[in-house]
Amino acid sequence: MNQKIDIKNIPSDVKVHRPEQSDNHTYNLRSRIYVRAVKGLHQLIRRKIGIISLGLFGLLPWLKYGDRQAILLDIVNQEFNIFGLTLWPQDLTLFASILIISAYLLFFVTTFYGRVWCGYLCPQTVWTFMFIWFEEKIEGTANKRKRFDEMPMSWTKVWKKTLKHTSWWGVSLLTSLTFIGYFVPIDQLFVDFFTFEASSAIVGWTLFFAGATYANAGWMREVMCIHMCPYSRFQSSMFDKDTFTVTYDTERGEKRGPRSRKVNREENGLGDCIDCNLCVQVCPTGIDIRNGLQYECINCGACIDACDETMDKMNYPRGLISYTTEHSLEGKPTKILRGKLYGYLVVISIMFAAFIWQISSRVPLELNIERDRNALYRETDEGLIENTYTLQIINKSQTDNEYLIEIQGLDHFDFIGLKQIKVKAGEVLRLPISIAVDPFELNKPITDIKIVLHSTSGDLTVDEESRFFKGR
């Protein structure tokens, strides 16, 4: 159960503090963690990042670009609008590039600064801290909450619990609707949902995501980070002796023990840790960082702030728990720029350059040609050889456009069908055309041709090769 990443030696006299084993009153019988609130630099940064990311999440789907929703990932119509850009399933390589860049950025940050993504930006952490904020406002501090849970049922308990769960459900419902608003037009979604006009599919998905948010941030919390998140399992492969992680300075802290401020620690053979347990009480995953680096640690820095507060009260220097590297603890210099980081940077730069090139060279128009499957060719009453094609024209832009069709590779021919066609924004249009040629004009059974599509505004041209069959 107590799995650790084998990075540093853990002294055998360090006490183990596990929720399920502890006699510490931070936990109740179900090992529920009552996270104690703490103030400090890292919590301030975490809160600000949380507010900014929550604000962006809530506001982005309401932004307009022209007359349409700026970000709308329309799965039903397989059309992903991101401001002026419309991506289609055919643009799969772009999505793949975004995923690869994101993955390598995460690897880079993890190698450099440990699991800071988890501690500061991961939605699980952001929403969990938001739910804890409601819990604290309604039920009080960690100790009060614990006592409150142990109290017998009363009217106060009923209304406070009702208020807490109602606020959690309110946030969950808003979260769910906002999330779905990235996939269906959000203004209509809110109107339909609150006037009971939404389809059963929309209602079902909304309740599903609301339930998931309520369960994850309200009840499961650290269980997600410890037992369900795959990232916590493979992060150790990215760590090295120069990775900044939240670390307890064992050398300085041990031998730990409570004492008054007046006690001379050197004379009493004590280290700087006064065993106040605050670092454990503020930990959202319920671990004791003094046991060494553990895979449950999300690098949130709450224990650093708590310990610094204690160090200030004792007039000891700050930094008994800090973001530091194993090399630094050994008294060796930390290598900030190193091979692994250069490697990640190279991959990120190449993928980013490829992504920019793909975006800038992308033509918002696609032409596919299907030949008539029933007959390669047919002879007309006038003795001409006729081939039939179906053009599939996809207008991937966000404006309606008109296109001209040009045939290359044949000198003289009759064109049967529309030569100029209007295609709406985002429309996939199927257009049958035929080409008829005098057989004396054709000197081989199969002639390579090219069908070219020009936008009438002159800024877009695509072409596709095909063949004209004569027969003999």
Binding site for ligand SF4 (CB under 6 A): 119, 246, 248, 253, 256, 273-279, 282-285, 287, 289-290, 297-303, 306-307, 310, 320-321
Select 278 or 421, whichever has its Cβ closest to ligand SF4: 278
User: Which amino acid type is present at position 379?
Assistant: E
Is-contact 191 202, C-beta < 8 A? no
Q: How far is the CB of 219 from ligand SF4 (least distance, A)?
A: 19
CA angle 329, 335, 338 (to 5 degrees): 140
The minimum distance between CB 1 and ligand SF4, in angstroms, equals 17
Rounded Cα–Cα distance for residues 127 and 213 (Å): 8
For ligand SF4, the closer CB: 8 or 160: 8
Sort 248 into a burial class: Cβ within 10 Å, 0-12 / 13-18 / 19+.
buried
Task: Compute the least distance from the CB of residue 338 to ligand SF4, in Å.
Answer: 23
Q: How far is the CB of 104 from ligand SF4 (least distance, A)?
A: 24
In terms of DSSP bridges, do strands 378-379 and 385-395 run parallel, antiparallel, or are they unpaired? Answer: antiparallel
Nearer to ligand SF4, 319 or 343 (CB): 319
Chain centroid, CA 121 distance in Å: 10
Cα(88)–Cα(65) distance, integer angstroms: 18
Closest CA to 403 of 355, 456, 352, 451: 456
Q: Which is nearer to ligand SF4, 33 or 189 (CB)?
A: 33
Question: Degrees (nearest 5) of the Cα angle 404, 410, 412?
Answer: 90
Q: How far is the CB of 115 from ligand SF4 (least distance, A)?
A: 8
- Gap between the Cα atoms of 372 and 370, Å rounded: 7
Choose between 67 and 266: whose C-beta lies nearer to ligand SF4: 266
Please state the closest distance from residue 201 (CB atom) to ligand SF4, in A: 39
In the complex with ligand SF4, which residue's Cβ is closer, 172 or 299?
A: 299
- Whole-angstrom Cα distance, residue 210 to residue 161? 19
Query: Under a CB-based contact definition with an 8 Å cutoff, are residues 361 and 353 in contact?
Result: no
**Burial class of residue 181 (count of CB atoms within 10 Å of its CB; 0-12, 13-18, 19+):** buried
244 or 468: whose CB is closer to ligand SF4? Answer: 244
Whether the bond between 255 and the residue before it is cis, its omega within 30 degrees of 0, is yes
Q: Between 111 and 294, whose beta carbon lies closer to ligand SF4?
A: 294
Shortest separation between residue 119's beta carbon and ligand SF4, angstroms: 6
Smallest distance from ligand SF4 to CB 8, Å: 14
